[in-house]
Amino acid sequence: MKALISTGGQGPDFEKVKDIFTHVNLVVAADSGLNRLVEWGIEPDFLVGDGDSIDTENVATKKYSYNPAPRDKDFSDTELAIIKCLEKGADEIILIGGGEGRLDHTLSNVGMVKKYAQISLWMTSKEIITILSPGNFITHHLPQTQLSIFPLDDHSGPVKTRGLVWELEHIDLNQSMSLSNRCVDSEINWEITQGRFLLLATYE
């Protein structure tokens, strides 16, 4: 079951994400992520979070269930939303938002992607982020798209690519990342041995 979480921070334009809403079974707003959905005319199934950054008029018109979490809590609003998705049976989660802004929030979101393998896609204002797992597969991009590859797990293993300007075969991505690489073609072939990676594709 597919779920979508709209969280705080900068997210993609509606044009980039609107088709996804027809393919998800559950929409959860994490705190100020609600504002974006209201702007788009989308009613979430659940709202979670401590309510400290939701526009008041959006909550006032709500039809969905909402029990505000305490401001002092063990989980971030995004993690509360993930937990809600998992409770409802989601085995795939798409995260939108969380771009730019405060570094602690950004690092927290990266931590969420690392902790919850159910998150398959993360769309911010500037990039679309796919989570790559071990295997042989192809990803599709517009030619010349800028790609960066970042190891997500400790000891993320060798990566072999075909289709990048700088192929990755001889780079130890456990020690660093591949920044502002580029697609030669519209198809990139991947061979990943172990561990997961963030593939960050910058919007054109």
Q: Which residues bind a second copy (CB under 8 A)?
A: 72, 76, 99-108, 110-111, 115, 124, 126-127, 129, 148, 150, 154-155, 165-166, 175-177, 179-180, 198, 200, 202
Cα separations (Å) of 70 from 12, 27, 49, 50, 186? 29, 22, 8, 6, 47
Q: What one-character DSSP code corresponds to residue 119?
A: E
d(CA 191, CA 159): 6
- Give 62 or 118: the residue with its C-beta nearer to a second copy: 118
- Give 57 or 154: the residue with its C-beta nearer to a second copy: 154
Tell me if 111 sits within 8 A of 99, measured CB to CB: no
Q: What's the closest the beta carbon of residue 49 comes to a second copy, in angstroms?
A: 13
Q: What's the closest the beta carbon of residue 43 comes to a second copy, in angstroms?
A: 28
- Give 4 or 173: the residue with its C-beta nearer to a second copy: 173
Backbone angles phi and psi of 95, in degrees to 5? -105, 125
Count Cβ neighbours within 10 Å for each residue of 70-99 and write b for 16 or more, e otherwise: eeeeeebbbbbbbebbeeeebebbbbbbbb
Burial class (CB in 10 A: 0-12, 13-18, 19+), 193: exposed
Q: What's the closest the beta carbon of residue 165 comes to a second copy, in angstroms?
A: 7
d(CA 2, CA 156): 27
Look at strands 178-182 and 26-30 and give their pairing.
Answer: unpaired
- Give 136 or 175: the residue with its C-beta nearer to a second copy: 175
Q: What's the closest the beta carbon of residue 18 comes to a second copy, in angstroms?
A: 22
Q: What's the closest the beta carbon of residue 21 comes to a second copy, in angstroms?
A: 23
- Give 27 or 31: the residue with its C-beta nearer to a second copy: 31
- Give 21 or 75: the residue with its C-beta nearer to a second copy: 75
Q: What's the closest the beta carbon of residue 137 comes to a second copy, in angstroms?
A: 21
d(CA 38, CA 62): 10
